[in-house]
Amino acid sequence: MPWLLSVHIVFLLIWCAALFYLPGLIAGRAGGDRDLSSRGHGLPVRQLFNLLATPAALFTIASGTLLFLVQGTLGIWLILKLTAVVVMVVCHALYGALILRLEREPQTVVTSLCVALAVTSALAVLCVVWLVLARPV
């Protein structure tokens, strides 16, 4: 099912791009009198999260689950990869919580938290890529 793998890769790329982009966008909006709206910055942070990042994450996970069921792959490789995906999901959820926190308290400074989430997200994505490329055949 090459089409399913293609769908999985496309949505994974969108989700990973959002995971890399969101921390900088969130940190750039925090700590000032600016709100999380679109004044001069395109889409609001919350809309980007809700309309792009979250659906991409859900489609990535759904298509990955279908790939697993179709291919029947099971082993330590898959467990390690799914663990890295769980880390990506937790980072995604924390970005959402951070967005909600900044909507309630716009003066909050979250730069260090954004850096920590960005590094964690990047390491999880790199781990997934490495595990996929090093996958035993």
Mean pLDDT confidence for 126-137: 88
Contact present, 73 and 80 (Cβ < 8 Å): no
Contact present, 128 and 84 (Cβ < 8 Å): yes
Q: How many CB atoms lie within 10 A of CB 134?
A: 9
**Domain edges within the chain:** 2-133
User: Is the pLDDT reported for residue 97 higher than 90?
Assistant: yes
Kindly tell me the burial class for residue 10, based on how many C-beta atoms sit within 10 Å of its own C-beta (0-12, 13-18, 19 or more).
middle
Q: Give the residue from 59, 53, 60 showing the smallest Cα distance to 26.
A: 53
pLDDT score of 17: 96
Half-sphere exposure for 46 (CA within 13 Å, toward CB):
11
CA–CA distance, 58 with 92 (Å, rounded to integer): 11
User: Is the pLDDT reported for residue 125 higher than 90?
Assistant: yes
- pLDDT tens for 53-92 read 999 999 999 999 998 889 887 888 889 999 999 999 999 9
pLDDT score of 48: 92
pLDDT score of 77: 87
User: Is the pLDDT reported for residue 121 higher than 50?
Assistant: yes
pLDDT score of 42: 47
pLDDT score of 31: 61
Return the minimum-mean-pLDDT range out of 36-40, 49-53, 62-66, 122-126.
36-40
pLDDT score of 110: 85
Task: Report phi then psi at 91, rounded to 5.
Answer: -60, -40
